[in-house]
């Protein structure tokens, strides 16, 4: 690997995991678990969350989340995303990866950690009808909104740039419903049709205002290291291209004039080559499953 690629790898790993080694301390807990976890090897959730399209999905999810004024108020009032965007990103990744690949106890513990943060996020906001309302991050409506947007973003991004999902979209939505339940979502969607219906049901609650514009501006230019900026711009354009036009208009965004989907595919391939096709978290999960006799050791060695 060239010196330039090594620098890139270090910066990317630091951004996504909080450590330049690519194996943060919490990954060891994935290897040390005592059961198969909520999903199991080569499940829909493993495939979607272990793929490079997650780099685009995170951007898409953040953009769409801004359209609910209650969720946007919580971010505006409480989030440290302006001061430490990478720290917030690595914290979200820790939850996503832990719930996907850990055993059940570790997934539940990580979800409880997230819930403790939600407990103190409270305030007031003006809804799409102009009515002032209280909010809390643990409010069932807001929890459902974040889950629906997250699920939709990761599913659609993987459909555009990833490999086939075992069991298809329905399998992924059904499996990831468990993650929603772990953080308090009531009756999350369990099929693609239910997911699309839930997103449509939120349409009257969506609102575009100056807070949305401010957040979108930040997501477009989050202050990453200069060397990473050109590639991030491609991923941002890819995320925008994957969003339905109705929501793009609300976000004040236009699809790039250049082939953003194809360019994003090239950047994801480059990122995969730099980071390595293997996932330390998935590798750790496979080691755990082999230790428990739930996976052949050959599947661990040749998984990637």
Q: What is the pLDDT of residues 129-169, one digit of tens each?
A: 999 999 988 899 999 999 999 999 999 999 999 999 999 99
Q: Is residue 171 part of a domain?
A: yes
* Length of the chain measured in residues: 304
Number of domains in the chain: 1
Q: Residue 137 belongs to what domain range?
A: 3-299
Distance CA 296, CA 287 (A): 10
User: From CA 74, how far away is CA 68, in angstroms rounded?
Assistant: 10
Residues 57, 157: contact at Cβ < 8 Å? yes
The pLDDT confidence band at residue 3, using thresholds 50, 70 and 90, is very low
- Rounded CA separation 46/208 (Å): 34
Look at residue 123 and tell me if it is in a domain.
yes
Give me the chain's average pLDDT, please.
86
Q: Model pTM?
A: 0.90
Asked whether residue 210 is domain-assigned, the answer is: yes
Whether 109 maps to a domain, the answer reads yes
Q: Looking at the domain assignment, is residue 304 inside a domain? A: no
For residues 181, 182, 184, 189, the Cα torsion angle rounded to the nearest 10 degrees is -20
Assign 88 a pLDDT band (cuts: 50, 70, 90): low
Instruction: Indicate whether 16 belongs to any domain.
Output: yes
Inside any domain, residue 188:
yes
Least confident of 81-85, 174-178, 292-296: 81-85
Q: How confident is the model at residue 304 (pLDDT cuts 50, 70, 90)?
A: very low
Q: How far separated are the first and last CA of the chain, in Å rounded? A: 19
**Could you read off the pLDDT of 26-63 as tens digits, one per residue?**
788 899 989 999 999 999 999 999 999 999 999 999 99
Q: Measured between alpha carbons, how far is 107 from 56 in angstroms, rounded to an integer?
A: 24
Q: Under DSSP, is residue 10 helix (H, G, I), strand (E, B) or coil?
A: helix
Name the strand (E) or helix (H) holding 249: helix 245-251
212: in domain: yes
């Amino acid at each position: 690997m060239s010196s330039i690629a090594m620098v890139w790898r270090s910066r990317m790993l630091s951004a996504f995991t909080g450590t330049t080694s690519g194996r943060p301390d919490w990954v060891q807990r994935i290897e040390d678990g005592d059961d198969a976890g909520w999903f199991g090897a080569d499940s829909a959730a493993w495939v979607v969350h272990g793929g490079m399209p997650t780099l685009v999905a995170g951007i898409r999810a953040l953009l769409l989340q801004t359209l609910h004024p209650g969720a946007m108020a919580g971010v505006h009032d409480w989030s440290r995303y302006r001061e430490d965007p990478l720290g917030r990103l690595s914290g979200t990744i820790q939850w996503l990866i832990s719930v996907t690949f850990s055993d059940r106890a570790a997934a539940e513990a990580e979800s409880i950690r997230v819930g403790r943060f939600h407990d103190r996020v409270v305030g007031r906001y003006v809804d799409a009808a102009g009515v002032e309302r209280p909010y809390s991050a643990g409010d069932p409506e807001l929890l459902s909104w974040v889950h629906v947007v997250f699920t939709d973003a990761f599913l659609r991004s993987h459909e555009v740039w990833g490999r086939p999902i075992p069991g298809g979209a329905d399998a992924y939505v059904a499996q990831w419903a468990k993650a929603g339940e772990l953080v308090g979502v009531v009756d999350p969607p369990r099929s693609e049709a239910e997911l699309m219906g839930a997103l449509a049901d939120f349409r009257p609650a969506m609102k575009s205002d100056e807070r949305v514009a401010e957040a979108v501006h930040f997501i477009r230019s989050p202050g990453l290291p200069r060397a990473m900026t050109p590639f991030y711009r491609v991923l941002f354009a890819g995320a925008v291209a994957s969003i339905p036009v109705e929501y793009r208009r609300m976000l004040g965004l236009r699809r790039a004039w250049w082939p953003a989907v194809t360019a994003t595919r090239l950047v994801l391939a480059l990122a995969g080559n730099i980071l390595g096709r293997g996932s330390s978290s998935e590798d750790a999960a496979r080691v755990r499953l082999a230790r428990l006799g739930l996976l052949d050791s050959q599947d661990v060695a040749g998984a990637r």
